[in-house]
Amino acid sequence: MKLHTFTVYVEDRPGVLNRVASLFRRRGFNIQSLSVGHSETAGVSRMTVVVETDDSGAARIKAHVYKLINVVRVEDITDRPSVVRDLALIKVSANHQNRAAVMQLANVFHARVVDVAPESLVVEMVGSEAKIDGLLEVLRPYGVLEMVRTGRVAMARGSGAGVAAGGGRFLPEAEEGFSYSV
Amino acid sequence: MKRTGAQILWECLVREGVTEVFGYPGGAILPAYDAMLDYPIRHTLVRHEQGATHMADGYARASGKVGVAIATSGPGATNMVTGIATAMLDSSPIVCITGQVGSRLIGTDAFQEIDITGITLPVTKHNYLVTSAQDVARTVREAFMIAKSGRPGPVLIDITKDAQQASCEFEWETAAPVVPGWREAPPLGRAELARAAELIRTAERPVILAGHGVTISGAEPALRAFAERANIPIAATLLGIGGFPASHSLNLGMMGMHGEAWVNLAIQEADLLIACGMRFDDRVTGNLKTYAPHAKKIHIEIDPSEINKNVRVDVALVADLRDVLERLVPLTEPGHRQAWFDRIAGYKGDSAVRDIQSLPDDGHLYAAHVINDLWRATRSQDTIVVTDVGQHQMWEAQYYHHENPRSLITSGGLGTMGFAVPAAIGAKRARPEAEVWAVVGDGGFQMTMCELATAVQDAINIKVAIINNGYLGMVRQWQEFFYERRYAATPLSGPDFVKLADAFGIRSRAVSTRSDVLSAIADATAHEGPVVIDFRVEQEDTVYPMVPAGADLHAMIRRPNPIVETAAD
C-alpha cells in the first residue's frame, strides 16, 4: 500500500467532479486529497487525486476512471519523476514578543508571511506535503489558529504534453495493445 | 426546421430505429407524450415504472437493440432505479427518459422534483440532465452511442419540462455526439494474441468460460469455431447460457454456485482457463484463494476495469470478443485431449443417477420436472424463457437446455425479483414470432404481477409459469442449510393465482401432478393470448448442487443419494 497520485483530465461540465469522486467512493477507495482546476486546454479541467492503495488497486482505479464518459485522460504518475506541490495557509498566534521568532521559522522553510495582525500572522507555504508538515510541527507550540491546504497538485517532469497532445486516446501506453504486467 | 424539444426527442428516437417504448405518463413528461402521437412509435403502458425498465431490458436482451423506457419526474423516475441497476449489472443497453420539473424550479424541492441524475449516477453507464431544447438531439444521439457501444449499459436522460416545450432549429446531421472521452476498443496487440495462442497450444486441461459477452458481441459462431478447432470444453455462466448449444459435445453446462459438479471440478482441475466475456463474479468463483489453482488464465474482455479485478490473469486481451476469437482460430492447432475428456467424464460419476430427472414419478410435482417438461414441449419452436430470481431460476438453468442465443433472459448480477413478467413482455415486443415463457416463483410474481394488466390491455401474448412452492424458496434453502431451518419470514402465502388471472381476464389453470404438466403447456401454447399456469410444486425442494457462499468451488453440497422425500422430513 502506498499513496498513488493520479492526474485526471475531465470535461469541464456540471457534475463531473461528483462523478469522479463518487466512483472512488463506490469502489471502496478513500481519497486522501483531491484538487481541481483549469488545464492548459479550454473546456478541460485537471484533477490531481491521491489515494492510498496497492498497485493492482491503482490499475483498477485507472481503468474505472477511464470508463467515465466525461474523462478524457487519466494517468498514474506515482512512479514517474514529477513535481508535486501542496499549498498551505497557516494562521499562527503571534504577538510583538514572539513574532520575530515565528517569522524566522517561516523563513527557514522558505515560507512567506502574507498577513500580519496584532495577535496573529498568516504564513503561506508551497512545497511538498512533508515539508509543510515540518513547518506545521515547529509552528504548533506558538498556537495554530487556522489552517487550509490545497492538497497535492502534481505534474510529470520532462516534455510529455497534456491533454491537447494525447486527448481522446484510449490509454497512452496501449498503442501496441493493452497489457497488464503480471 | 423548427421543432419543440419534445418533437426533437421523437425525431431522434425514430432515427435511432426505435419503434417500441415502455412507459408511464405524468406531469413533467406530458409534452413528450403529446408529441409522441405524431410519430411511428408504439407505446406500451405499464402499471409501474419498474416494469417499464425491465420491459426495455427484456426487449434489448431479446433483440440486441437498445430498449427505451419513459417516465415522469419524481416517483416515476425513482421507480425506475431497480430496473436501471438490473440493466447496469447485466450490461444491457437501455435508454431511460424521464421528465423533470422546469429548469427554473430545479433545486427548489418543487412538486415531483427529484435529483434523478444524482440518484442514478452509480447505476448508469452515463446520464444527462437536459435543460434546453437545443441540447436534446445531441444528447439522444450520445445516449444511444454510449448505451450500445463497448460494454453496453443503461443511459438516463432527464429532460426538463421547459426544454421539452421550447422550440429551436433541429438538424439531425449537425447534432453529432461530442464525447471527447469516448473511446473505441483499443487495438489488440499481436504479442498478446500470440501469448494466448501459445498457452492454448500447450494446455492439456483447458476450459473455456463463456459469459454474457459471447452474445453481446455476437461471438457465438466464432466461439464455436474456436472451441471445435482447439477441442476445448465450454462452461457457461448463467448469462452465458445460450451462447453455445447445450447439445454440443463440448458443452459442459453451467458453472458456479449451482453448476453441476463435473463443471466446477473441471474448472478446479484445469491447467488453462479461457474466460470469454465474463467477469469472475463471486457466484462463479467461490473462494478466490482456491479458485482454479493449477490454471493459467486468459481473459478476453472489452472492459479493462474487469481485468485482474477478482482473479489475477496471465494474459489479458482487452477487445471485442468476436474479433479476438476470429483472430485466434487461425493461430490455433487442432487439439487432442481425450485424456482430459475422459477425466471430466469421470467427474460426472453417478451424477446422472442422482439427478431428479432419473427418479420414477412418485406422484409429487417437482419444479425440475415442470421445467424439464417445458423444455421438451417447447424445444422445437422459437422459444424465449424469461426467469425471475431464485430456485426456479437455477432449475431453469439446469433443466432447460438452451440451443440458441437470446433464448434465456434472466437477471444475473443484481438478482432482481420481479424481473420475469415485465421482461417477458419486453421480449415478446422485440420478437413477436417467438413464444415467450416467463418462469417465475410465487414470490417474484407477486412483486410485479400488476403487469399482467399491461399484457391484457396491449394484447401481449406471454405465457407465465408460476413455480409455486409457498416459500421464498432460495432464502428458505439457505435457512435450511445455514440457519438451522429457522424459517424467518420465508413462508409465503398468495392469492389463488387462477382466480387472480381470471380477474385480469387471463386464461389460467392450476397443475399439481406431473401428468398434467404437458397438457397444460400444450393448452397454453395453443391459446392466442396470455396464459398463467400455477404449478403447485413440492414446497421444501432444494437446488443441488450448491457451493455455499465463499466456499471452495469444489466443496459442493451434492445431491443426496437416493434423493430423500423432502416434504416428509
**B20 flagged as catalytic:** no
Q: Where in chain A is the domain with CATH 3.30.70.1150?
A: 83-153
CB pair distance less than 8 Å for B316 and A18: no
**Is the pLDDT assigned to residue A67 strictly greater than 60?**
yes
Instruction: Note the pLDDT of residue B353.
Output: 66
**B446 flagged as catalytic:** no
Instruction: Note the pLDDT of residue B562.
Output: 58
Instruction: Note the pLDDT of residue A158.
Output: 84
Euclidean distance between CA atoms B136 and B440, whole angstroms: 39
**Is the pLDDT assigned to residue A55 strictly greater than 70?**
yes
The correct CATH number of A2-79 out of 3.30.70.260, 1.10.10.10, 3.40.50.720, 3.40.720.10 is 3.30.70.260
Nearest to B70 by CA among B97, B47, B46: B97
Q: Which CATH superfamily is domain A83-153 in?
A: ACT-like. Chain A, domain 2 (3.30.70.1150)
A53 in reach of chain B (CB within 8 A): no
Instruction: Note the pLDDT of residue A171.
Output: 42
Q: What's the whole-number average pLDDT of chain A? A: 88
**ipTM of this complex > 0.90?**
no
Q: Where in chain A is the domain with CATH 3.30.70.260?
A: 2-79
Q: Which residues of B touch A167 (CB under 8 A)?
A: 180
Low-confidence residues of chain B, pLDDT below 70?
352-353, 359-360, 561-569
Longest pairwise C-alpha distance within chain A: 66
For each of the domains in chain B, give its residue range(s) and CATH number, in order of start: 2-169 (3.40.50.970), 190-348 (3.40.50.1220), 361-568 (3.40.50.970)
**Residue A60 three-state SS:** helix
Least CA distance to B195: which residue of chain A?
A179
Q: Where are the alpha helices (DSSP H) in B431-496?
A: 442-448, 451-457, 473-482
What's the pTM? 0.94
Residue of A26, A56, A179 with shortest CB distance to B316: A179
- What stretch of H or E contains A147? strand A144-149
Residue of A11, A56, A175 with shortest CB distance to B180: A11
Shortest Cα distance, chain B CAs vs residue A175, angstroms = 7
Residue A162's pLDDT band (boundaries 50, 70, 90)? low
**Is the pLDDT assigned to residue A174 strictly greater than 50?**
no
Question: pLDDT tens digits for B143-156?
Answer: 999 999 999 999 99
**B7 flagged as catalytic:** no
Q: Please, what's the b/e burial string for B372-399 (b: 16 or more CB within 10 A of its CB; e: otherwise)?
A: bbbbebbeeeebbbbbbbbbbbbbbbbb
| B192, B206, B210, B248, B420 from B408: Cα distances, Å | 33, 26, 14, 17, 11
Longest pairwise C-alpha distance within chain B: 74
**B16 flagged as catalytic:** no
Instruction: Note the pLDDT of residue B566.
Output: 42
Euclidean distance between CA atoms B412 and B409, whole angstroms: 9
